[in-house]
Structure 1
């Protein structure tokens, strides 16, 4: 959990799919955030003060989350767009 908190604390883009948002919940980072995940994780997100959104990809600040492996193409495309936007000009 300390690693997750440190990465988030640096402002790093974080992608989480399926049960991955449970790490954000456990690390105390879900409160006030809009997240998606595997449907069974939704109650944990809500209990931690987050908002569960049933969409293929949900962005909230540095977090990009998706529900299931089938959503990965859309999530990865969005993450690549975000990374390209911050890439230094050559």
Structure 2
């Protein structure tokens, strides 16, 4: 529970900083790069954690076709939606 409160406080701090225009413009232009790096880093850590979990890897055949289908479709549609939104943003 305390971790969630910490996340909310950090998000509130970010909203406060954005509303008060405290962050300089040259730093704002680099925020996108920081977000991309953080996302790639988190995905790498998640992949490592899942790949090193012996219990999960041993029981993966029990998850079934439905779980696999849901996971694949979630990934595909997430990538598709991000691609579509970034395409619209570039115009």
Do Structure 1 and Structure 2 share a fold, with TM-score over 0.5?
Answer: no
Q: Which has the larger radius of gyration?
A: 2
Q: TM-score, normalised by structure 1?
A: 0.27
Relative to its length, the structure with more strand (as a share) is 1
Of structures 1 and 2, the one scoring higher in RCO (CA 8 A, sep 6+) is 1
Relative to its length, the structure with more helix (as a share) is 2
